[in-house]
Amino acid sequence: MVRKHAKIPAGTFLVSLAAAAFLVLAACSDGGSGSSQETDETTENTEKKDENTEKEDEKTDGNTVTSRKISLSDAPTGYGTYSAITSNPTTVTTRSELIDAVAKGGLIYVSGMIDMSDGMLPNEAGGTTNSLDGFVKEKDSSFSSYNDFYTKYTGACTYETNDKSSSTSSQAGESTYRTKLWNLNKEYQKIVCLNLNDNTAIIGKDSSSGIKGGSIQINGKKNVTIRNLVIQDAYDPFPHHEKEDGFNAELDGICVQGTTENIWIDHCTLKDTMHYKLTNVVAKTGGYEKWQTYDGLCDIKGNANSVTVSYCRFENHDKTMLIGSDDTESVSVTRQVTLHHNYFLNCGQRLPMVRITNVHVFNNLYDTDSEKYYDQQYAIGVRAKAQIIAENNYFGTEITKAFNGSSNTTKVGDDKTDMVSDTKLYESGNTNGKKANSDYYTVVSAMPYTIPYEYNLQSPAEAKTSVLADAGAGCTLTE
């Protein structure tokens, strides 16, 4: 099925829908969503593909492996447009080189995995390193080590403790260590956060290029793309306690916020590698609470607008993607986000969770496998004033709720405004698109707004094949 005719990026082979069964994904594109053109183009383009087979294939241990490719001239499909940055690249291999490069902006190639934590990232959640122990002691001499901080802070918290605010003034329900906790958290963020500038393109050189232990911040910026990167373990060792909600982390793999527009996140792999029990801190009589050192993999909030996330892999995470930080969030723009051809594997919830945003979600894959750690709660959260168009997504059989509402939508703000009528879901052609708590959103039979860009819509089965073959980092860059 075609929603208008897509603009096909250079390097993408054109085939007809009738010949889709014979399609071999020979190129990694921005995510043009697969190809569908008139039948009489098939022969010409099949011949074109055959002419390039030798160039596109690599031999590994006697087996033919199709090479995936991206180009600097690729363009996104979706709300997030992008003016290509193609000249004067800087290649970085270390944390200091990367920090220097993003301060200038422009085209940046990342070669190899860069540890943004400067040696403080532990091997397991809640663990420590010599560098982390030294950091804690240097920043606050009242703690002798990270474990000393951990023991004292958790011991000062109860189920009712509320250390959510980082304000310097006293807060109701705070612990005796709230100020110390937030001082350590802020100092740690100065080290691990990578703050991007306008007109920046960060591209990984291969499947083992990216960052670990850090957080990419796109705050109030324009024309930014992140492609072909592995973004691993955005780890926050200083989570704060929230009333009746345990200890919560601050850092995301990627955070898009502020008055930001024209952002493209493409062919990235965002994942956690530390599996741990969340209930390992006693702070409640007769029970345990989570010590959670991860927040989101990719969160979008504030006045962020015109964002496309395409052909990415999100792996082994709980609260994966938040779009809109609060039911009463004040925004001056209509947030517009496109998610297509992404793979959500072994992710527990928020795939995404949407508030006060127009989100177009098409041709994504949601699934689990034997490595699943987090309980699968739901895929797409339909929350206050969300306007969601969901088309031809593939939800695996273990995805318990494809779409899920919340009773919070009926009690937003001080006046407990009922926003159910303003919270809309249009869904069409999805596989296993089970709805839950649908009393808290309105299912509509027509799209609640017009999609302003051209896109090609695959069937869920075709999308699953495309996503499995092409999502995530590991492409070869052609300049």
313 is catalytic: no
Where b means 16+ CB within 10 Å and e means fewer, 346-359 reads bbbbbbbbbbbbbb
- The letter for the amino acid at 355 is R
Cβ–Cβ contacts within 10 Å for residue 190, how many?
Answer: 8
Task: Sort strands 230-232 and 254-257 into parallel, antiparallel or unpaired.
Answer: unpaired
User: Which backbone phi and psi does 218 adopt, to 5 degrees?
Assistant: -115, 95
Q: DSSP letter string over 145-196?
A: SHHHHHHHHHHT--TT-------SS--TT--TTHHHHHHHHHHHHHHHEEE-
Among 379, 376, 345, 374, smallest CA distance to 359 is for: 379
Whole-number Å distance between alpha carbons of 257 and 303 = 6
Bridge partners, residue 323, by sequence: 300, 354
Bridge partners, residue 282, by sequence: none
**Residue 277, helix vs strand vs coil:** coil
365 near 393, Cβ under 8 Å?
A: yes
Tokens 């069937």 locate to 459
320 contact partners, CB below 8 Å, separation of at least 6: 296, 297, 298, 314, 344, 347, 348, 349, 350, 351, 352
Task: Sort strands 455-456 and 2-3 into parallel, antiparallel or unpaired.
Answer: antiparallel
DSSP designation for 475: P
User: Which backbone phi and psi does 133 adopt, to 5 degrees?
Assistant: -60, -45
DSSP designation for 41: G
Please count the residues of the chain.
479
The structure tokens listed for 244 are 């009746």
Q: DSSP letter string over 74-139?
A: ---SSS-------SS-EEE-SHHHHHHHHHH-EEEEE-SEEETTTT---SSTT---HHHHHHHHHH
Cβ–Cβ contacts within 10 Å for residue 95, how many?
Answer: 20
Which one is catalytic: 178, 350, 355, 383?
A: 350
The catalytic site residues sit at: 350
